[in-house]
Amino acid sequence: MGLDLSGADLSGGAFQESWFTDTKLVRTKLIGADLYRSDAEGADFSGADLTRASLVRVNFDDAVLRGANLDGADLVKASLYGVDASAASMRGTRLMGASLIDVNLCGSDLSQSVVRENTFKVTVDETTKFTGMSGTVFGPVQLTDRTGQHEIGGTELERWLRERGGDVSVLRGRV
């Protein structure tokens, strides 16, 4: 088990290349913090405030971001595998070149976020918000709705995102 930094205010901190593996950061304030190339595998950021944080190349594999605020954060080339980001706020977040594989985004808000060539194998639901989201992704996504779970990709995913206010192209090829 890692450190317990729950509830701490680490806003503006410089934590480049830090080790946060299995750290408990529940409701921790990391507003504007710099975690460039840090390892946060298995860390619990439930309810944490990462507004405008630099999370470039951070390893979030198996982390919990449930209900976290990532508004305006920079997640360029970050790795998110097996992450629970349900009900997270990611408005205006830069997710360019990031890998989102097996990520739960049900109930999350990705409004105004920017994606570029992202692996985007995520689970979403009818409450996930995409208004103003722009860029390109590799799908498909798992859509959970009242009739069950369905995989959507390609032009069907593009249309589905447009219907929700997003302007995202789904790329063919790499998974």
pLDDT, tens digit (0-9, with 9 covering 90-100), for 93-141: 999 999 999 999 999 999 999 999 999 999 999 999 999 999 999 989 9
**Dist CA 56 CA 173 (whole Å):** 25
Q: Which of 83, 162, 74, 66 is nearest to 120 (CA)?
A: 83
Q: What superfamily would CATH give domain 1-175?
A: E3 ubiquitin-protein ligase SopA (2.160.20.80)
Q: How many residues does the chain have?
A: 175
| Nearest partner of 174 among 135, 136, 142, judged by Cα | 136
Q: Tell me the per-residue pLDDT of 148-171, one tens digit each, with 9 for 90 and over.
A: 999 999 999 999 999 999 999 999
**The pTM of the whole model exceeds 0.75:** yes
